[in-house]
């Protein structure tokens, strides 16, 4: 079994986190490789005699892998994921299907949605965050550059709600139907349920449903204090009960446009100064 780990995951503790796989899997031969040192991940995996490969890292590691591996039609190799990051939202969503702490990735990459940002396409496995969620990942990146202490995204979000983040006006088009919103705090589009280290932002989303759709969740129209009161309920998925300030739109194609640039995150990876994004479903990766 080949374990490809990301040493940068889990606040620079990725190697130690990946090593814990030995506690749950009893194998005589385990080879650990630093995935950041592999130039062409597709060629590397296809060249291995081993038919069991494990990607060990966080959601960002997983995102970079699905955007760089180009041969999911392979039938002779099982590619697994082992959560060795700080958020691990993908594993949180699919935990019930795990075995010995591993998830077989081959089962989850069909019909992955694709987001277009600034003219570039990215596959994503969890979600695209836009608004205060993008602000949080950008602020987290800045803190991580200064310190190796764990990042508390809940604390960042509260600070943003109170002081630093200012809501925007937005246009949201889902399957060619356009709605406009004022005072938008967040407008993510989700393939899974979770992001941000446990926020159940799209509790009705099923990444393996037969007639695949994505969910766009808009929190809007409220002032800082009410938003701050409701925001913690996102960890239990109860925010969607506040229909006066939360819309959930489901469809196959989505475009979100803000009236000023904001940071956007894709599976926890930040892109600054974004004015719009578009999502569509591919029938096959």
Delineate the domains of the chain, giving CATH numbers in brackets: 2-109 (3.40.50), 114-281 (2.60.200.40)
Return d(Cα 45, Cα 215) in angstroms, integer: 33
Beta pairing partners, 249: 216
**Whether the model pTM is above 0.75:** yes
Tell me the three state secondary structure of residue 267. Answer: coil
Return d(Cα 31, Cα 47) in angstroms, integer: 15
Return d(Cα 167, Cα 183) in angstroms, integer: 5
Return d(Cα 124, Cα 279) in angstroms, integer: 10
Report whether pLDDT(259) > 50.
Answer: yes
- Per-residue confidence band for 245, with pLDDT thresholds at 50, 70 and 90: very high
Q: What is the pLDDT of residues 187-223, one digit of tens each?
A: 999 999 999 889 999 999 999 888 889 999 999 999 9
Return d(Cα 173, Cα 182) in angstroms, integer: 15
pLDDT of residue 165: 92
Return d(Cα 51, Cα 39) in angstroms, integer: 20
pLDDT of residue 79: 94
CA angle 273, 274, 278 (to 5 degrees): 170
pLDDT of residue 29: 86
Residue 194 near residue 207, CB atoms below 8 Å:
no
pLDDT of residue 285: 42
Mean per-residue pLDDT, 249-275: 95
Lowest-confidence segment of 82-86, 105-109, 186-190, 234-238 by average pLDDT: 105-109
pLDDT of residue 196: 87
pLDDT averaged over every residue in the chain: 92
Q: Which of 166, 202, 203, 206 is nearest to 184 (CA)?
A: 166
Return d(Cα 222, Cα 117) in angstroms, integer: 27
pLDDT of residue 235: 93
Residues belonging to the chain: 285
pLDDT of residue 186: 95
């Amino acid at each position: 079994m080949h374990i490809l780990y990301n040493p940068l995951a889990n606040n620079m503790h990725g190697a130690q986190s990946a090593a814990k796989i030995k506690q749950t899997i009893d194998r005589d031969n385990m080879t650990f490789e630093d995935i950041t040192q592999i130039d062409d991940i597709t060629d590397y995996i296809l060249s291995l005699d081993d038919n069991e490969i494990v990607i060990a890292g966080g959601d960002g590691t997983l995102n970079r892998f699905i955007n760089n591996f180009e041969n999911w039609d392979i039938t002779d190799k099982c590619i697994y994921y082992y959560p060795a990051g700080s958020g691990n939202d993908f594993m949180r969503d699919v935990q019930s299907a795990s075995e010995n702490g591993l998830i077989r990735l081959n089962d989850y990459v069909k019909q992955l949605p694709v987001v277009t940002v600034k003219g570039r396409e990215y596959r994503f496995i969890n979600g695209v965050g836009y608004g205060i969620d993008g602000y949080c990942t950008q602020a987290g990146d800045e803190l991580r550059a200064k310190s190796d202490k764990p990042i508390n995204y809940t604390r960042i979000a509260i600070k943003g709600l109170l002081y630093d983040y200012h809501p925007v006006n937005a246009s949201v088009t889902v399957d060619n139907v356009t709605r406009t919103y004022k005072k938008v705090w967040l407008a993510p589009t989700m393939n899974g349920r979770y992001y941000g280290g446990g926020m159940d932002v799209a509790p009705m989303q099923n990444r393996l449903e037969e007639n695949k759709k994505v969910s766009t969740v808009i929190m809007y129209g409220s002032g800082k204090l009410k938003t701050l009161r409701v925001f913690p309920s996102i960890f239990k998925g109860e925010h969607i009960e506040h229909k006066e300030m939360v819309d959930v739109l489901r469809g196959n194609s989505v475009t979100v446009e803000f009236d000023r640039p904001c940071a956007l995150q894709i599976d926890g990876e930040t892109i600054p100064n974004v004015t719009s994004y578009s999502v569509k479903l591919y029938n096959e990766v």
